[in-house]
Every structure is written in structure tokens, then in C-alpha cells.
Amino acid sequence: MWEKPEHDGGSRILGYLVEMLPKGTEKWKEYSFRVIAVNEKGKSDPRELGVPVIAKDIEIQPSVELLFNTFTVKAGDDLKIDIPFRGRPLPTTSWKKDGNPLKQTTRVNVQTSKTLTSLSIKEATNEDLGHYELHLSNTAGSTTASLTVIVLDRPGPPTDVKIDEVSADSVTLSWKPPAYDGGCHISNYIVEKRDTTTTTWEVVSAAVARTSIKVSRLVTGSEYQFRVCAENRYGKSTYTNSPSVVAEYPFKIMMDAKFRDVVVVKAGEVFKVNADVAGRPIPVISWTKDGKELTTGEEYQFRIKAENRFGISDHIDSQCVVVKLPYSE
């Protein structure tokens, strides 16, 4: 742009002549410009622009207009996310899901125009939930926009169902929450049991708030299996089964054999051997020496065992022990 001549030469200015002189062969050329006023009498002297001009496209770093960074869709419904962007020259766009390049399928598709990129998901499943990234780049720079897609669905199954305690009429079991909660709070767990001689499942509780339960009123000696499912506002998960277990006391009898050393008792001293024994129910303890009663002054090799109504422990033998009662005439 320029201003009119101070004098029009006595005749109306018919127009202006703009001339340019290109220099260089680079991508961005340098130009010099000059302007000449023209009337019916002829042309004025040229007025040149003070400095050369480089013809270069305006550069603008990419930017996005992301109003939300969390998008929710119910399983089976469609989801479309439109993200306007700007940048000059036109930025290149790329999408990632959970850190990997987004794989486009017949269900998952990306479309991009000069000002908008759209992520479309048809009939969403829990495979579509996760962290998405949009990356834009041009010669002026780059930017990344992050967003999360939540798919609302029934939860996944509980994991690691295990038996913690067993008695003659009860079993305590526990489990871990599902890896996928369905995009919302787990409201409760449902626990069922069955006698392994049948295929019929019976509900123990349909409103378990914690991740453990004690199941009582079992029949002693019967074998049971349990299963657990999780529930949220969108439905129930599949069941996870426990190992089979027999309702009975765990009859494990343990005995401390720290008395195995040789013990020599002098006359007048009290002979005492301590052996720690554990079992449930409380075991009855017996000491024997070939089924015979101890006799004073004799050398013995002792045998100890523990016994309850479920069985008898292994015998533990001591080394030779001299037993002497207090000296008397």
C-alpha cells in the first residue's frame, strides 16, 4: 500500500503500475518492489520499497481446541470425538492408544480435514477403553492432546479366589477385585457354593460388600466348591471358581524335637524334658518305652507321639537318656 502523489500532474490519476524484481532461486524468494503513478500524460518516476521482501508463508504452531479430556460411552453404543485444530502450514496428525499407534478397523476410524480430526468408534466394547493421544506437527512446532475413553459395561470377573481357613462346619474364602470395574463402582459381590457331588449352585450371599466371606453351616466331611462374581449398575460379571475343599479340621500335628540331645541326670536332680506339641483339637500326649513302665536307674531311649481324633503324629526318638530318681537307701 502507498499514498497518492502530492501532485496529480493536472490530470486524474488513472492507476498505478507495480513492478517487482525477483532475486534468488531458493524456496523462499526475495523481491524488490516499486510503484509508478499513471495518468493520461504518462508515468511518474518510480518509488521503490525501502527494503527487499522475502516471500515466505506465515507459520503458526499447531494447537487444538479440546473442551474435555474424558469421554464416556455405554457398551454397544457409538462414540465420535471431534477435535478442531489450527496450524500453518497444515499440520500432520497421528493417533495413539495406550502408547501404541492406533489401529484403524471397521469399528475404529479416524478422519481428518484441514481444521478438524475425528475419532469414531462403532459399537464400543471394553477393548476401546484407555488413554488416547493426538499428535500434530508442522515446521513451526508440534503439540499433543491427551484424552481418556471410558466404556460403561458390566465388570470383569474377580481374581485369585482362594481358601483362607477351614473348619468342620465353615470355610473362609477371599478374592481380589476385577481388573476391569466396568467404568463405575463395584456395588457388591455374589458368592455361591455347591456340594461337589452335585452340579447345583446355591447362593450363599448376593450382597457381599467386602472381598472375603465366612461360609458357615457346612456338613462335616463334605467337599465343597465356591464361586464369586462382581456386580455393578450395568450387570454381573462371569464367575470365578475356588479350589474344592473338604469341611473338616486340618489335623496337622507338630512336635518340637529339641529334646533329642543326650541328657544325663545326677542323683537328687529332677529329670525334665520339654516338647512343644501343636494340633487341633488339642492332642492327648503319651510317652512310651516299648510299651513298658519306666524303672528307676535304667537307661532309656524315649519315644514321643501326639494324638487327636484325626490321627497320630510320627514318632520322634531321643538319644540314650539315663533316668535316676532321688537317691534312697
Reported as a single tens digit per residue, the pLDDT across 194-251 is 999 999 999 999 999 999 999 999 999 999 999 999 999 999 999 999 999 999 886 6
- The verdict on 163 and 198 lying in the same domain is yes
Q: Of 197, 223, 246, which residue is a domain's last?
A: 246
Confidence tier at 116 by pLDDT (50, 70, 90):
very high
- The verdict on 144 and 169 lying in the same domain is no
Residue 4 falls inside a structural domain: no
Using CA atoms, how far residue 183 sits from 53, 125, 151, 235, 301, in Å, is: 58, 11, 6, 12, 69
Domain count, the chain: 4
- The verdict on 89 and 139 lying in the same domain is yes
What single DSSP character describes residue 114? S
In contact, 237 and 229? CB cutoff 8 Å:
yes
Q: Which of 310, 284, 306 is nearest to 221 (CA)?
A: 310
Residue 5 falls inside a structural domain: no
| Domain coverage including residue 46 | 15-54
Considering the chain, what percentage of its residues have pLDDT values greater than 90? Answer: 59
**Torsion angle of C-alpha atoms 184, 189, 190, 194, degrees rounded to 10:** 130
Provide the pLDDT for residue 311: 64
Provide the pLDDT for residue 30: 83
- The verdict on 198 and 262 lying in the same domain is no
- The verdict on 270 and 203 lying in the same domain is no
Residue 3 falls inside a structural domain: no
Mean pLDDT lowest among 63-77, 95-109, 171-185, 298-312: 298-312
In contact, 31 and 20? CB cutoff 8 Å:
yes
Strand partners, 88: 60
- The verdict on 190 and 221 lying in the same domain is yes
In contact, 303 and 289? CB cutoff 8 Å:
yes
323: number of Cβ within 10 Å: 17
Residue 6 falls inside a structural domain: no
Region 267-288: what's the mean pLDDT? 66
Please give the Cα distance from 156 to 177 (Å, whole number): 9
Q: Of 183, 211, 246, which residue is a domain's last?
A: 246
Q: What is the CATH number of the domain that holds 293?
A: 2.60.40.10
What b/e string do you get for 131-143 counting C-beta neighbours within 10 Å, with b at 16 or more?
ebebebbbeeeeb
In contact, 50 and 35? CB cutoff 8 Å:
no
Residue 10 falls inside a structural domain: no
Residue 8 falls inside a structural domain: no
Question: Which residue matches cell numbers 471397521?
Answer: 106
119: number of Cβ within 10 Å: 22
Provide the pLDDT for residue 240: 97
Please give the Cα distance from 265 to 299 (Å, whole number): 11
Examine the pLDDT at 74 and tell me if it is beyond 60. Answer: yes
Mean residue pLDDT across the chain:
84
Query: To which H or E segment does residue 230 belong?
Result: strand 223-232
- The verdict on 143 and 66 lying in the same domain is yes
**Grid coordinates of 199:** 452340579
Confidence tier at 55 by pLDDT (50, 70, 90):
confident
- The verdict on 166 and 104 lying in the same domain is no
Residue 193 falls inside a structural domain: yes
Write down the pTM of the prediction.
0.59
Confidence tier at 272 by pLDDT (50, 70, 90):
low
- The verdict on 261 and 213 lying in the same domain is no
What single DSSP character describes residue 128? G
Q: Of 122, 152, 182, which residue is a domain's last?
A: 152
Question: Using alpha carbons only, what angle is made at residue 97 by residues 93 and 98, rounded to the nearest 5 degrees?
Answer: 135
- The verdict on 271 and 317 lying in the same domain is yes
